[in-house]
Amino acid sequence: MFKQTDYPKLFNQYEKLLYRVLWDLHIYPHTDYFDDFFQKAQLHLYQCAQTFAKNPLEQEQHYAFTAYARKMIRWRLVDDLRQLNRQHQFEQQDTTPLGMMATSQRMSSGRCAQAFMLEAKKRLTASEYIFLCDLLNHQGDVRYFTNKYGVSKQAIHQRKKRLAKKLLPIKALLEWGEVGC
């Protein structure tokens, strides 16, 4: 079992592993978030040492622990990178209904569409609303959605179905003449 007091020894022994994992993920020392990810990698190394069945400082366990830690740290950092990318995408989105109406030429009736978007924003979570905006701007471009959200075509289809089900009660806002638009 690994002791907390042995962490400096662990770090000294496996520091190069952390740099290697970061390099494999294209996180280089000159990038803005390198220090953050290096600290996260250190925390993940400590967690790996805690969950490893034997003592990672023993010479006989060096190769087994290196393989285990490299895989675990890599996947945890990939999750952290995905989370960072989602935050950046969310911050860069113009999610105001008026902004969407200015950029989307697909909706024919401006007032009805604007009313629909205002009501949709009230009913949807922030991520669902961004997905709706993406649907309006990138209709039919499945590759865009699979790249942006990192999921399969089937997952995108299911997400569209759930979104349509949620917005069904306000569908009348889009239909000409039903609400006096």
Query: Percent helix, strand and coil across the chain, each rounded to 5?
Result: 75, 0, 25
Q: Over 80: is that where the pLDDT of 174 sits?
A: no
Percent of the chain with pLDDT over 70: 81
For range 153-175, the mean pLDDT:
84
Task: For 44-99, write each residue's pLDDT tens digit.
Answer: 999 999 998 888 899 999 999 999 999 999 999 999 888 888 777 766 655 554 45
